[in-house]
Each structure stands twice: as structure tokens, then as C-alpha cells.
Structure 1
């Protein structure tokens, strides 16, 4: 099994996010909220899997495409978390929403800088 690239902030952030997401989904499953838990697991873990897949992209276009998919998964994840936040009987997802914000910013910057050829600091 290949190791994650070293010192790759977005890979690390998305992996940590997925772990916390699993724990949140398990809390939902314990409350028998299986449908939402399943949706959250799909979108929340897909962010990191696409970021990780982009690390071995076949081309610049493929790299951008994988990050664009990750960006779409961020949007879907934000939606499900907002839904959970609005349902009083669901555990508060604010900690996940807070962790998703920098991931969204970084993914967006990576897409933009790769398209323009600029290196971000």
C-alpha cells in the first residue's frame, strides 16, 4: 500500500476530515438516521479520495479535474451538514462545518493556481 505524500496539507486535512466525518456518521447511525449518515459518508469521504487520486494524475487536466470533483463534493457535503444543522434532533455538525471551510478554500486555490500556472504561497 502506497503511503500518502509527505507534508501535503490538503491530503492531510481531507484525511483528518474524513475520520471525523465517520465518527459523526456513526453518531447518526446510532440514532437510526441511516439515510443521511450514508449520504454524508459518501460526499465527505469522497473529497479526500479525489484529492488523493489527484496526487497521481496523468496530466495537468486530470489533476484539475480531480480537484474539481473534490470541490463538487465539498458543496454537497456543505449541503448535508447544513441540513443536519437545521434538524433539531440531529447532532450539531458545526465542528465539521468549521473544518470544511479551509478545505474548500485550499481546493479552490489549487484549482485556480493550477489553471493559471501560478504558485501559491
Structure 2
């Protein structure tokens, strides 16, 4: 996958998150989860774009770690939406899977950039 393709994938992910947030019920929980999800679910794309202009390898890895952190948080909120019944799992499973795939992509990218072999790393970044 090219950097541009990955950027497009993150843009699509953010757009889908926006649609999910807009479909959440107007309840106390729905508003809270929606606010959290719109923040973390739309930030991986811009953070990835920043990483593409990193000033050093360390800066690049740091920005990728932010992308991964935000994706993990988004996945948590998506799972909570299902767990609490805010939206049916049939609507959410594909997006949860996409979040997981993106976590794996960025986790592996971080491992590769740092030059760490998985067998030597006790807690790899992409561990779910």
C-alpha cells in the first residue's frame, strides 16, 4: 500500500466515523461517546499526514505512535457502542475490523521503523 493509498484509507475511515457519530442516539451516553469518537476517530489521518513530513526518523515514529494510539481509542469506543446497544453490531463490525486492520498496519510500521524484531519485543505496538 502506498502512502497516498493509506492516507485515503484513513480519510475514508474518518468519514465513516462521522456517519456513525451522526447516527448515535441523542442520549447522555450517545453524546459522550460521539464526542470522544469524533475526536479520536478523525485524528489518525491528519497525524499520518504530519508523519509524512517528519523532520527525523524519531519524529516519524513518534507521529505514527500517535496515529496508533488514536486508532486504538477509536476501536474501544466503537466496541462500546456495540456493547451498550447504541447501534447494532451488524452496522459496527466492519468498522471495528477496519480499525483493527489499521492498528495492525501502523503497529507493524512502528516495529519496522524501530528495527525491532517481534520475538525480541515483549509488548509490540500492534498487540491487540
TM class, shorter-length: 0.7 to 0.9
Residue 95 of structure 1 and its aligned partner are, at CA, apart by 2.0
Q: Which residue of 2 aligns with 1:57?
A: 54
CA contact (8 A) 2:47 2:66 kept: yes
Residue 78 of structure 1 and its aligned partner are, at CA, apart by 1.5
Matches within 5 A, 1:1-121: 8-28=4-24, 31-32=25-26, 33-92=30-89, 93-116=92-115
CA contact (8 A) 2:75 2:100 kept: no
The CA deviation string for residues 98-120 of structure 1, in whole angstroms up to 9 with x for no partner, is 11122111101211111119xxx
| Partner Cα distance (2:86, 2:18) in 1 | 19
* Pairs aligned (count): 111
CA contact (8 A) 2:72 2:99 kept: no
| Partner Cα distance (2:76, 2:3) in 1 | 30
Higher relative contact order (CA 8 A, sep 6+): 1
Q: Compute the TM-score of the two structures, normalised by the length of structure 2.
A: 0.78
Q: Which residue of 2 aligns with 1:3?
A: none
Q: Compute the TM-score of the two structures, normalised by the length of structure 1.
A: 0.82
Unaligned runs of 5+ in 2: 117-128
| Partner Cα distance (2:115, 2:13) in 1 | 28
CA RMSD of aligned residues (A): 1.9
The CA deviation string for residues 10-34 of structure 1, in whole angstroms up to 9 with x for no partner, is 2121111001110111111xx2122
CA contact (8 A) 1:10 1:107 kept: no
